[in-house]
A and B are shown apart, each in its own frame.
Chain A
Amino acid sequence: MNAVRSITRSRLFWPVTALAALLIFNVIVTPGFFGITLKDGHLFGSLIDILRNGAPTMLVALGMTLVIATRGIDLSVGAIAAISGAVACTIIGDAPDPGNPGVVAVAIIVAVVLSLILGSWNGLLVAAFGIQPIVATLILMTAGRGIAMLITEGNILTITSPPYKFIGAGFLFGLPFAIIIVAVMVAIAALLTRKTALGLLIESVGINPAASRIAGVRSRGIVWVVYIFSGLCAGIAGLIISSNVTAADANSAGLWIELDAILAVVIGGTSLAGGRYSLTGTIVGAIVIQTLTTTVYTAGIPKEIALVFKAIVVIAVCLLQSPVVQDWMHRRRPTPSSTKAVAS
């Protein structure tokens, strides 16, 4: 009985339940949904597609989780993704030989370095100038797409470069390369924050910045680092997006990805008020969002109307996690552990 309770009380319970419900619905509608086939040594199937198409959102949400854990928010990730894709495609497009791996390497390095710079610009405003995160990142969100348009001169840049296409559409060890990128980034983030004290320090800054600073935590530096990491994740996501369509579209690349990423974080059980965060929850949240989109496609509903379902899922998951509903549910079913927690 206690085991059941601890499962339903877990922060991952609702997102995982939502995901399971969506998957079951899909299997009922399309019986072959779970089928994964091996073609030319590459894995194909709906589940693989969900992971691959969700890769940019997962990456951006990964960076966003750490930002939100410090009680911040990063609205500029979509703009950074657009800029990163625009820069990479411009460099490759202007090169005499777009297919040259050296050119592609230079383009990727420049785009990544630029994303790091844009991330540290956000960090500068938030950590050094003490501007509210939502306002500080709103600046780059507004100006960023203009900058991306400036780089592409307002055009949609289409390029033909097999090595660049590999990032978003290639396969390695039978898996789409984009999934491997996400896995590596998640592993790095998990190792750095959970195997060292960094994660604890990030949470302490999110719970009480002033107290952490007095306790000797270098909160400014930590806040700065998470915005740089978020910029890096957004930049790589931008590379995946532009590589997937082999074009840089300054207007629509990464449009609303910041909102999807924030949703993924919230669905994953991390509170926007900062503090405790869950990387696993975020990844599950991102997969829920992508599965929802895929479900709407397979059900034959126009993709624009998918927004209505997204709104319903957001409200449902947020309401279920809201303190009011949680209190209400716990009051109806008081458990020994909760009374103990109250007593202590």
Chain B
Amino acid sequence: MTTTLSTPTFLDRAKKFAPAPRYASLVATLVLLVVFFGIGASRYRNFASGQVVLNLFVDNAFLIVLAVGMTFVILTGGIDLSVGSVVALSTMIAASLAQAGWNPGLIILIVLAVGSGIGLLSGLVIHYFKIQPFIATLAAMFLARGLCYVISLDSIPITDPFFTALARRIVFAPKLSINPSVIIALVIVAVAFVVLHYTRTGRTVYAIGGGEYSGVLMGLPVSRTKVLVYVISGFCSGVAGILFSLYTLSGYGRTGIGLELDAIAAVVIGGTLLSGGSGFVIGSVLGVLLLGIIQTIISFEGTLSSWWTRIVIGALLLVFILLQKVLTLRRR
């Protein structure tokens, strides 16, 4: 009797896993992106140009990389508050070592190692000492920010020829240009996409978010993967730090304050559940682009002050969180 009853409910549930609700949040972000672009294009004359679109990538390359790392962490149900500070620390290390005349390749390796190392520490503390991700990464945030000021209290300019060459724009068509940062960011997005959707590690990341204990019972390498996501986020913060230092051609301990909030907002707006287990890295990229387009519109408007950006991002967060709530309720 019970089996005949449970079969249809299982089917019902399977039906509800059909693509539509799963991608609904992603589609909503895409629609909003188009709508905002339409608003911009109809209001301002020079808005609907290829360069405006490309600039979305140029200006937000570092944020795209950060959001990719954050997506891994949030998919496991964790959070990483340290990314903004690690970006600042990376710019400081890069700038101070470049000033001391170190080899650029070595500098990049050191920055990536420091970023990954901080992520590794957070991950180990979170997994083996059962400290909440919020607190552990908060400590990492303080540590990285403090270390910035240990290096220097002032801003350090970057004049190294290798870095200035990397910061230059590549013009590939009349009036269309990008910079190497965009290519790096897109490569990282592609790698993250492949890892999340086509490897065992990726599936383990989703499984941890869906239910850590079930993952352990299934024999998945939960411990290793749980620590790994924080290393990935730290590595991405290191990369983002290098991109950020190329973007500003300087290192400064006060950069990137609140960047972690932007990254988290982009991930949430991109449709990833903060409770973990559901979301897409492409969604996070769309989330970053949506934040970018809002900023572009506000700068085109001219009379609107910058604080409207924060209010609009807050409102968008509200809309998407309520949308997710409705979707998950329907799924149940």
Contacts and interface: CB of A to CB of B under 8 A. Distances in A.
B320 to A, nearest CB: 10
A181 B274 CA distance: 37
Interface centre among B135, B306, B313 (most CB of A within 10 A): B135
A322 B131 contact: yes
B314 A154 contact: no
A135 B146 contact: no
A305 B149 contact: yes
Grouping DSSP codes into helix (H, G, I), strand (E, B) and loop, the B interface class, with mixed when no group exceeds half, is helix
B268 interface: yes
Contacts of A154: 305-307
B102 interface: no
B140 A311 contact: yes
A68 B322 CA distance: 23
Contact of A132 (B139, B140, B275, B305): B275
Contacts of B191: none
Chain B's interface size range is 35 or more
Interface string B303-332: 001111111011101100110010000000
A73 interface: yes
Given A305-B149, A305-B150, A314-B135, A147 B317 contact: no
A325 B160 CA distance: 47
Contacts of A145: 307, 310
B313 to A, nearest CB: 5
A215 interface: no
Nearest to A142: B314
Interface string A128-151: 011110111011111111110110
A140 B143 contact: no
Interface string B140-159: 11110111111001000000
Contacts of B321: 131, 135-136, 139
Given A135-B321, A304-B153, A149 B268 contact: no
Given A138-B261, A272-B132, A304 B149 contact: yes
Interface string A244-283: 0000001000000001001100100000110000000000
Given A73-B134, A138-B261, A306-B146, A315 B139 contact: yes
Contacts of B140: 311
B149 A302 contact: yes
B125 interface: yes
A307 interface: yes
Contact of A304 (B253, B275, B309): B253
Interface string B99-131: 000000000000000000000000001001111
B182 interface: no
A308 B132 contact: no
Nearest to B81: A259
A146 B307 CA distance: 5
A186 interface: no
A147 B308 CA distance: 8
A118 to B, nearest CB: 12
B311 A150 contact: yes
B265 interface: yes
A318 B131 CA distance: 7
B125 A319 contact: yes
Interface in B141-196: 141-143, 145-150, 153
Contacts of B134: 73, 134, 262, 272
B305 A305 contact: no
A324 interface: yes
A206 B183 CA distance: 47
A147 B139 CA distance: 28
- Ranked nearest first, the 6 interchain pairs of A and B with the lowest CB-CB distance are A143-B314, A146-B310, A307-B146, A308-B146, A149-B307, A304-B149
14 contacts: A135-B274, A142-B313, A143-B317, A263-B135, A266-B135, A304-B153, A305-B146, A306-B146, A311-B141, A311-B142, A314-B139, A319-B129, A322-B129, A322-B131
Given A308-B150, A311-B146, 12 more contacts: A139-B318, A142-B314, A146-B307, A146-B308, A149-B307, A262-B134, A262-B135, A304-B253, A308-B146, A314-B138, A319-B125, A323-B130
